[in-house]
Structure 1
Amino acid sequence: MNPVTFEDIAAGLPETLREDVQRAWERYREQAAEAGARIPGHPDFLRPLARVWAASEFVAQSCEREPELLAELLESGELLADTAHGELRARAGAAVAEVLNAFDLGEALRRFRRREMVRIAWRDLAGWAGLDEVLRELTELATACLQVALDRLHAWLCRELGTPKDSAGRPQSLVVLGMGKLGAGELNFSSDIDLIFAYPEPGRLGKRDGLSYEEFFTRLGQQLIEVLNRQTGEGFVYRVDMRLRPYGDSGPLVMDFDMLEEYYQSQGREWERYALIKAWPVAGDPAQCTELMELLRPFIYRRYLDYGAFEQLREMKTMIIRQVQRRGMEDNIKLGPGGIREVEFIGQAFQLIRGGQEPRLRLRQVQAVLGNLAYLDLLPRYAVERLIEAYRFLRRVENRVQAFADEQTHELPTDEAGRARLALAMGFPDWAALLKQLDRHRRFVEEQFQQVFGSPHTREEEGDRETEALGALWQGQLDDEAALALLDEIGFEQPDEAHRLLDQLHHSLESRAMGKRGRERLDRLMPLLLAAIGEARDPNETLARLVRLLETISGRSAYLALLVENPMALSQLVQLCDASPWIAAELTRHPILLDELLDPRTLYTPPSRKQLEAMLDRRFEDIAPDDLETQMDALRHFKQMAVLRVAAADVAGATPLMVVSDYLTAIAELVLQKVLTITWHHLVARHGVPRCGTGKARREAGFAIIGYGKLGGIELGYGSDLDLVFLNDGEGEEARTEGPKPLDNAVFFARLGQRIIHLLNTLTPAGVLYEVDMRLRPSGASGLLVTDMAAFAAYQHEEAWTWEHQALVRARGVAGDPDTLAAFEAVRREVLCRQRDPERLRREVRDMRSRMRTELARSESGRFDLKQGPGGIADIEFIVQYGVLRWAHEFPDLVRYSDNIRLLEGLAGAGLMPEDDVRVLGNAYRAYRKRVHNLTLQEVPALVYQGEFIQTRAAVLGIWKRIFEGGDS
């Protein structure tokens, strides 16, 4: 074979780079000949050599320094394939297997790192490895070096001084937290490694006056840094930066877990939360590493939405911009405009704000976080795709800038050769083509950054005289006359009352420990809020409602930040509180709902049932099956969010009455289905699946939830209770569960029913899910909580009163086993279609209605009770129920539905009621219920002035009298 010449490998190399590469090639050949090392001759291998060496002086010099390296990497197969997970740890262990002291440990690791960095850089620059593989291997290389070094140093120190142990006698290790890109698994080519050291528990070695564990682990940490950081003839392993630890350079090198937790909870600053998002244990005992991360999570991810993160990150970015401008770093691809840091800020802002509630955002990799922002509809998908594309491009540029000399730099080259080298490494024909693409990405990143972080209030607004004057009013800097005049000017019809409310709020908040930042946010918010309230229909009442909200959220300045940062949310808050005290009260009880005000497109468009189901499933994706507390909170937040959207659309007039009830009913059904799933799985895990029967006839026993009343009739309103009945079909031979702790089916289902009620009506910090009424079950409050299907059928056929059959008209299955639900529907149909004595039925229905009027109607002078008053809702419901019970034996299709409107239509369709009567009753029923909805949203009882609905009530009463007092059959 003819010897390989430079021309064989330099085809296509830019002239600017040829001379340097040719000299490197000649030196390499000389060193290889002197060392007797073989030069690889395969053309597929040599073809990218000139490109790799042109792009990386580090690789070329490493090959020259160790001429056998290329042949070894090629013949071992290591250069041609990526490494499996854990493989680098094994190689690092083998590299240090024979070392006996810290100095030799460091030298062995330096040689090992150089070998692996040459391999990684070659694969990257040759185009043999993608970005994700390169970042992963660079991270795994660093963690491998850290872990093997720590293992050796820890063992040597324990042999010398003794082993630190926890209170249970278990050995303790130093836990090394990797910060930044190391912790995120995205290490770049020549990065420092930012570390924090911790250990589980304090103590002493040996006797009382022995070395403290803090001293032991401090010494260990110092040795680890020395091994990695020391510059020798072999270079360094990694530059170590410890400045991110608590108190920075002035703080202790190591802390025990309790000290670390205490520091972050009591003194931790926002930038430290930001830094810890990417933190991950990169060395130490795995169990102790997990324990530490659990301790840190509450500090990193707040339980509530934290919109203060925008403000904090904006301030951090401003500091970076000043630094960039001061040092002339505009072409810094990390810190400059549109650089890597801006992409990271976008993702991490949402992590800090929402990570406490959204597990999908508790990730360390920027690309994964961005992808989930699109999945969660927090950023448009096209924007996320472009951001990821830009991020990947910028990271490739970063790696290739650093791979040239294994130096930590983020500056684009300014010399002709450097630009030609980077263009070649990035696969562009020249610098101009590369710069065009780079600028395209940086412009897009900068635009997106400004959209996310741009201050919502321009300088002109901040300098607006009205805003300044309202700020002075809030701060108490105006005299009474000027304050009242200003409030009158912006729209308050009772400025003296508004002034009193503001004084009340100011004094109420003065005694609260809001902190400097909280007060600053409140002072920024109040002028904006007052200006918006002045535009309301009833500014004084709206202010009164918002004062209560502000008193509630003042201790959590993140909610104040949400409103300051989002003018749209502030505007929607004022509009909704102006429209409905019920909505205002809901927001006050559950401030987490303020987040729903950010996007009017979703706020005023209630999701479909399919969308609701997907939203609920999404909330449970990352909740552990046994984490009941989190499940209960997730259910409550889901219900509150969904109902708020319905109410917002309702007050805006965007949703018809029947659709409002459909939405509210669908929400309740989905909640019940999820509650049943949770409780069923919990009990089955403990006791096994309930079964009954023997032999081949043995089967799983079923359970069903039956909705009565408004739930059964698909007519739920805001704040409605749920009338429920629980049924099972698990009686028979060998009726018991099959599990580790078997139970009789009756006991199993009783516990299931109790747990369902517990999940629904237990008061938690997130409120009550639903109040539950079980009095419609067989035998009422004295009956069993869960009724067997056979017993239910017998009761309905033999013991139930007529009013219970009336209730059955509006009953339907809402959750549970399909066979059990079908069995209930069969019983319902049989019972309702039974032939009855018309006169007796009429008398019993009429008597029950008379009793209800006496017991339930709220008789106030000059007021009409929409629900129980004569000619009201209950009269219409009784007319419908009477019609179904009277004629279902002849017209069984009458029992097909459970809601009053379709039942009325069924009676008309069968010719059993005049069309005019059905139209009157249907219109009256809709009008009454719409009014009840509206009154509920105004937080007033379902009572109207006697002069309202006069003709409607008279028409309903006329039909009532014809049916129940006129002898119609």
Structure 2
Amino acid sequence: MAAPGRRSSTFTRLLRHGFTDPQAAERLLDSTELTPLRNDPVLLDALGATADPDLALLGLVRVLEAQPDRTARRELQDTLIAAKPLRDRLLGVLGASTALADHLARHPLDWHALVMYEPQDLHPGVEEFERQLADATDPVSLRVAYRRCLLAIAARDVCGTTGVAQTAGELADLATATLRAALAIARAAAPEDAALCRLAVIAMGKCGGHELNYVSDVDVIFVGEPTDGADEQKALRAATRLASHMMRICSETTVEGTIWPVDANLRPEGRNGPLVRTLSSHLAYYQRWAKTWEFQALLKARPVAGDLGLGEEYVNTLAPLVWQAAERENFVADVQKMRRRVVENIPAAEIERELKLGPGGLRDVEFAVQLLQLVHGRGDTTLRSGTTLDALRALATGGYVGRADAVQLDEAYRFLRSMEHRIQLFRLRRTHLVPEAEADQRRIGRSLGLRTDPVAELNREWKRHAAVVRRLHEKLFYRPLLDAVAQLAPGETRLSADAARERLVALGYADPASALRHLEALASGVTRKAAIQRTLLPVLLGWFADSADPDAGLLGFRKVSDALGRTPWYLRLLRDEGAAAENLARVLSAGRLAPDLLLRAPEAVALLGDGDGGAGGLEPRGRDHLEQEILAAVGRSEGAEQAVTFARGVRRRELFRTAAADIVASYGTEEAPGDADQGELVELVGGAVSDLTAATLAGTLRAVVRDNWGDTLPTRFAIIGMGRFGGHELGYGSDADVLFVHEPRDGVDEQEAARAAKHVVEEMRRLLQLPSTDPPLLIDADLRPEGKSGPLVRTLKSYEAYYRRWSLVWESQALLRAEPVAGDEDLGRRFTDLIDPLRYPARGLGDDAVREIRRLKARMESERLPRGADPTLHSKLGRGGLSDVEWTIQLLQLRHGWEEPGLRTTRTRQALAAACSAGLISAEHAETLDEAWVLATRVRNAVMLVRGRAGDTFPSGGRELAAVGRYLGYGPGRVGDMLDDYRRTTRRARSVVEELFYGA
């Protein structure tokens, strides 16, 4: 025993070297077995470098104690002192694995396997392992030889001589050699059976994929054929006996433990099917009965033992079926469902610790890679690797997975597999659960090189990698491109000219020759960009064809691709970001407006990605956000024209965002067909365009004031939205109906104030209509007092005087939609206070006023409907259209707004709902009017989206009419149904109008 002073010093050194039980370590260091090593200055350093120094020291003492005699012990002690490589390997294994320490204690001379690494031993293959197992003639000796080989693999692993992928490959090669040795033992025990049959052992799963764990079932399938002249049934029975014996040799527990279970449950019919089948029987099963997951499993099939020629024939025979699996109905959905089922079957108490099967685990990487292989590997043979990381690398090289994504998945997979290896190596038990004990997590963390705070660092790195895997798994595994690609014929995944032409004709492209030229321009060549386009185009063609004008969609895609082709994020977005590609296809083929907006600024394609939580990129931005952006730009601009140019650019971008959101929601996606609430879509468009218009006017107003007066206009100034603008119901092509009001500031001459206000209005109108590629914004002030003959802008007092003396009932009706939208908020509020008594008159309207409103409505119907227009199909002035519904609701507001607060709103649908709640209209009538108003508004929006210009009637051209139908949810050939439904809906609404408005 060492003196107390020295022990105290050693105690401190042990703590510094990572020992957690220094007292026990001191006792072991003082043991007789370590006497020659006690003064070795690097022993503690070597122990401190292991995953668990306490465990390594205990294991070292056990191994020294187990040496058969003093000579053998001295040889090991001398080698440990002289040979640093051996010391590091042996202590590294002892600090990581109690199971291998137990093996060395039982077989103390096996440490010689770690003395040196010959070139063939540094990265041994199957033949080297077969030589090391050659002397094993029974199950016990095979287990001993297997563990000896495992010892060397583990030593290379824990010392960093091999990486995780190489280690997994060596474990698979050792399994291959072991299966061959076990089969040889079985054949030797039954030579008569061996003479009757040819037996091939096909490795599946991780063994087949050359990526085995330390402890894992080894999945196999057996193929048997009779030898020449042998009876088939007798041969199969003989092969079954050999296969069963081979499985027992590997699986049974002996005094030396077990090797690993051999699992043949991946065979046809699973446990209920025969253990061995002929090749023709296998083929018949896979052709007729196999499920999708069985073809996925065959991705990793590899002949490993027995008759390798028969095994190769098996793999080559079934390969075409594997690469046709993606064409099966519901293929992608089946694979995804199977993955979800795996997660659902994990016990709730274990799911957070499941390294393999849990969310963000190893299986997520493997499933995503395998699904991409099966979908794209039909036409690209470079993807047909059974090894996960090799396949991932090929997917990245081929452009099917982004390079950055592939790097992150590779890193995460390696880290998670390393964790799995270290967990299993400790006791050589089959487990994928991260242990909960701090000591276990500390050992695992240190074994992975995490030394500062091993437990915290391990959990942080584990969660980080799991989060990356989960995110990328969702991104790659569930992206809708896959399901669409899986529906294409194999030749179409790489577009040959013939396949493309046939597909274009079949899909109804009106000009296949032009379409082919676009395809050639997009997909020809050997660049990565062309490779990704070849992946995208077959799917996009189908989505374009799902529209009324596929040619326009393809042309638009080429224009956008030409404009953004050198932008690195563009194709990556379409390939990787959820529904971005499908959204783009829908937008480009839905009509003229959205593509025209996009082609003016193609970078707006980025809005079509996932954004924050699915459709975040298409979520319309609120008025405050838009106004803040525009006003900030106005502040940076050199003049009013530059400021308004920026404001109009924002308006173009946001019009595209809104139009795209509307189209995508109307068409739906592969994952979520178009079943969006029509009323919600109308309100989305109306609210978004109205907010955008208000923000644009606010920015223009600020720019004019700043350019002419600096910070303060001589008069307070407010813009009042009218009509659909005030009602938050603007369409894509709507003018902005407004009133302008001002009020001179204290001390400012009224004439000066009036001149300033007039200049503001004129300058705003001029700036917003300057020639530009951006859509113009027309300001319409015709609803002002005295109409076109009255002044453009009035003071608040002038409005008060006019309305008190001259106001007519139609002006009260028009003021129902008045709402301040820009400028001085206090002045806008005082304007609405001024007009409230007019639009919500006390005690309602008199009979004369009601008759006047009805007369005006009847006159408008007879005079303003365009000549030749079909009154049953005119969305604004026709029977049961917008005018009918709005005048009916506005009459209710004028008559009852004074007593029903809910009617005091500028919004049509809110006023209708309030009238229903107040009992002024039945629920049935309210639903009828609401349905007609929403439908008519949708028709107007559709016409603008399809034609690129406003219109109140259905288009006459076949393609445009079909496009309107597609937007409204009517598929090919259903234009007649659309028109019939419109007439039926508006006819019912007209009946309600006759009753409620005209009193019929």
TM-score normalised according to structure 1 size: 0.47
Rg: which structure is higher? 2
